[in-house]
Amino acid sequence: MGRVRVDLNISLDGYASTTDQTPEDPFGRDWGRLTAAYAGTRTFRERVLGQPGKGTTGLDDEYAAAYFEGIGAEVMGAGMFGLHEHPNDPEWQGWWGPNPPFGVPVFVLTHEERPSLEMEGGTVFHFVQSSLEDAVAAARKAAGDLDVRVGGGVTTARAALAAGLVDRLHVAIAPILLGRGQNLWADLREFEQGYEVRSEVAPSGTIHVTFSR
């Protein structure tokens, strides 16, 4: 049976989302600073940007590669799929175009009833109206022996952590203080209990902390 995994980029003060988006800079400067080490890796540049052979190798890249390995299904919140910006729009198919980078069944939590969407490259979006627990159970079944990734957003990831659904949490901590946004650690007192915690620092300054059980 596979594990349920969460991977997030957070700031040293725990923020996993940023607040300085503008129409001119839709990601914002903070997002760039938060994800700089990950976005610079060879894995990210090859798998997400389609730039093979470029980018950093080493510890940051090892974690980036692990993020993509062994995933058999994904769970995400409605916001990550874009249903907050595009509610009740039957034409909306997510942010990722016709060939999303998942390549596996993706279970989207939403109050909307929507038919499943079969995309190119193996991604099939299923829409789950009941509970996070049900979505994770459906994803586990779909993943078989492979792992399930709870991809985001932060609220969904934190709910999965708080509910004890997650077997492996990896955070890549950028050594910056954002001071605002959604804090991953809110209401997770003693989450570490029952997990083995391992930390290591990459040459980029990113602190990788992994909770495993």
Q: How many CB atoms lie within 10 A of CB 156?
A: 22
25 is an interface residue for its own copies by CB under 8 A: no
180 is an interface residue for its own copies by CB under 8 A: yes
The token pair that represents 73 in the structure block: 């299904």
How far is Cα 83 from Cα 113, in angstroms, rounded to an integer? 12
Q: Are 6 and 160 in contact (CB under 8 A)?
A: yes
Please identify which residue in 12, 84, 131, 141 interacts with its own copies, judged by CB under 8 A: 12
**What per-residue string of b and e applies to 172-182 under the rule 16 or more CB within 10 Å gives b?**
bbbebebeebb
Please identify which residue in 188, 194, 212, 213 interacts with its own copies, judged by CB under 8 A: 188
Please identify which residue in 51, 129, 199, 212 interacts with its own copies, judged by CB under 8 A: 199
Q: How many CB atoms lie within 10 A of CB 41?
A: 26
How far is Cα 152 from Cα 8, in angstroms, rounded to an integer? 8
Q: Tell me whether residue 12 or residue 49 sits nearer to its own copies (CB atom).
A: 12
The token pair that represents 140 in the structure block: 């586990």
Choose one: 36-44, 63-71, 136-144, 181-189; the region binding its own copies (CB under 8 A).
181-189
CB within 8 A of 189, min separation 6: which ones? Answer: none
189 is an interface residue for its own copies by CB under 8 A: yes
90 is an interface residue for its own copies by CB under 8 A: no
* Least Å from the CB of residue 70 to its own copies: 25
Choose one: 64-72, 115-123, 136-144, 201-209; the region binding its own copies (CB under 8 A).
201-209
31 is an interface residue for its own copies by CB under 8 A: no
Choose one: 61-69, 71-79, 92-100, 169-177; the region binding its own copies (CB under 8 A).
169-177
Choose one: 53-61, 72-80, 139-147, 194-202; the region binding its own copies (CB under 8 A).
194-202
Measured in whole angstroms, the distance separating CA 89 from the mean position of its chain's CA atoms is 24
* Least Å from the CB of residue 199 to its own copies: 5
How far is Cα 55 from Cα 191, in angstroms, rounded to an integer? 34
Cα Rg, the chain, nearest whole Å? 17
Task: Give the number of residues in contact with its own copies, rule: CB under 8 A.
Answer: 26
Give the residues lining the site for its own copies (CB under 8 A).
12-14, 175-180, 183, 185-192, 197-201, 205, 207, 209
